[in-house]
């Protein structure tokens, strides 16, 4: 991938150009991924409540 295309893609992801260009693009991607905060996992709401009746069923 040409340097210009890599920098443009980096800018699209982060909103700014990279401060430095490492010799290995994989190292730059690893750095980007490791610096991103982990998104919290939201538990799913079950479609049933355990009594066999669907959550949308009128009671």
Q: What is the C-alpha separation between 58 and 7, in angstroms, rounded?
A: 55
Q: How confident is the model at residue 8, as a pLDDT?
A: 92
**Tell me: the pLDDT tens digits for 7-49?**
999 899 888 888 888 888 888 888 888 888 888 888 777 666 5
- Per-residue confidence (pLDDT) for residue 46, from 0 to 100: 66
| Confidence band of 51 (pLDDT split at 50, 70, 90) | low
pTM above 0.75, yes or no: no
Rg (CA), the chain: 22
Whether residue 4 is predicted with pLDDT greater than 70 in this model: the reply is yes
């Amino acid at each position: 991938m040409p340097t210009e295309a890599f920098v443009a893609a980096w800018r699209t992801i982060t909103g700014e150009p990279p401060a430095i260009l490492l010799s290995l693009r994989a190292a730059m991607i690893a750095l980007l991924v490791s610096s991103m905060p982990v998104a919290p996992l939201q538990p799913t709401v079950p479609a049933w409540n355990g009594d066999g009746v669907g959550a949308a069923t009128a009671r």
